[in-house]
Amino acid sequence: MLSAVSGLVLVAALASACATSSSTPSSATATGSGTTATIPELAPDQKVSIVFESYNLTSTGTWKPVIEGLLHDFEAAHPNITVKGQPPQGTTPNGDYTSSVKNQVLAGNPPDVAQVTFDALRFVAGSLGAQPLDTLVGRDAVQANFGGAHPFAPTARTLGNVDGKTYAVPYVFSTPVLWLNKTLFTQAGLDPANPPKTWADVKNAALAIKSKTGKDGILVDCVTKAAVWCFQSLVRSSGGRVLSQDGKSLPFADAPAVSAVSTMADLSRSGAMPNLDQAQAFKAFKAFKAFKAFSSGQLGMMLETSAVQGLFMAGAKTNNWELGASQEPSFGSKPVVPTNSGSGLAVFSKDPAKQRAAWELIKFLTSDRAYTQISSKIGYLPLRTGLIDDPNGLQAWAKANPLIKPNLDQLTRLQPWESFPGDNYLQISDTMMSAVEGAVFGGKNPAAAMSAAQKQGTSLLPPR
């Protein structure tokens, strides 16, 4: 884990590597309003090659073939632009895909456009040299891309903003979905048409499944380092926050957050959720063993992103069980506050022609055509929600796949995945989630664990 001092050294190195301020592109001078583009359009015969880095180009499930198909379609529609798609380079512990971009920035050869997770957004804008799109192509063009026949959901439009500027166009994400094995529900004497609404209901259902079927009851991915986005939803739904509204303090040791962690720990200690120690829990989730357990019919419920919908549907079909989906459970009568997983698309190139080509790719990958593929074949939310009612879009698919409904309903109430401030954002997140894992799987006292993490995390915040 980096200290605050080493974090400052990193900032200096990155600033040197980026060469220009993250708020002004090197290709031109930004206008005051940001409504006018500062990079020229490409000539019809102007050949440009760009590198697109995407974690959806890993070999996981249905992701890679869908994105590769879209890149092929883009090149067919833009014969003057060649796109080299690549997965994150090197190791990506706990889903830290931004480290790949960081290492390439330091080497002086970043990807031209990259898929960046929302937790890294402030770091990407402030230290990695992501270009403000409002300046590159003009604020009007950015907002026009959110419009069209099927506009972006209002809650999604500003997720890629930092200090009022768009640094990333929201791309693919989900809200926490409670996936159900309806067959195990029936075998346990439960009604699969009436899934658990509260965490108390989840505990009771999980224990019934374990008692009556011998299978495990529930796995909550939100309590592992790789799913901090989902943990933030648990805390918000319990009435707390992990970052204060002014972005200056870390209230994740306050009573509401501790209560959420305690509820998850109770699931583990009661036997409703497999009681794994920290190392086992992390290894299981990282290796997708939990996904495989659910897919093979060995698990009654799993709170997880909808990005695994394709995997779960295939598993249910292969292993002869029925898949269901419901909204995130509540803490008693408190309203559920869904947060988003996922990523936006950001431009890192300093070359005007590559920047323009990257913008064309971003528009294509966030178009009606792209979301029709991304949603129907992977399971991510169609951010252009009107496609659900379009007979030429996702209407037929949505009717045949009601599993999308909980996710769409939660999109209307979405709150953003918070990005911790400063260059130690990842260390703060890891510190918090290590405490969560220790309390849930390792038997540590939730209040004491979260308090110690809060103290350590606070020391990693940037100076006020």
Greatest extent of the chain over all pairs of C-alpha atoms, in Å: 68
- For the chain, first and last CA: distance in Å? 21
* CA proximity to 430, closest of 452, 455, 453: 453
**One fold for both 49-173+341-413 and 176-339+419-459?**
yes
* CA proximity to 123, closest of 424, 458, 416: 424
Average pLDDT of the chain, as a whole number: 88
- Whether 11 and 106 have beta carbons less than 8 Å apart is answered as no
Alpha-carbon distance of 276 to 273, in angstroms, equals 9
Can you tell me the mean pLDDT for 42-70? 91
pTM, to two decimals: 0.85
Number of helices (H) and strands (E), helices first, in the chain? 19, 11
Looking at domain 176-339+419-459, its CATH class is alpha beta
Can you tell me the mean pLDDT for 373-388? 91
Looking at 244-253, 349-358, 362-371, 399-408, which range is the least confident one? 399-408
Give 2's pLDDT tier (boundaries 50, 70, 90). Answer: very low
* Better-predicted residue by pLDDT, 277 or 265: 265
With a pLDDT cut of 90, the percent of the chain lying above it is 76
Instruction: Give the residue extent of every domain in the chain.
Output: 49-173+341-413, 176-339+419-459
Alpha-carbon distance of 367 to 342, in angstroms, equals 17
**Residue 391: which residues within 8 A CB-CB, separation 6 or more?**
none
pLDDT, tens digit, 9 for 90 and up, residues 207-228? 999 999 999 999 998 998 888 9
Give the model's pLDDT for residue 34: 60
Alpha-carbon distance of 395 to 388, in angstroms, equals 5
Beta bridge partners of 219: 302
* CA proximity to 131, closest of 87, 166, 93: 166
Give 10's pLDDT tier (boundaries 50, 70, 90). Answer: very low
CATH number for the domain formed by residue range(s) 49-173+341-413: 3.40.190.10
Location of structure tokens 């439009």:
157
At 162, is the secondary structure helix, strand, or coil? Answer: strand
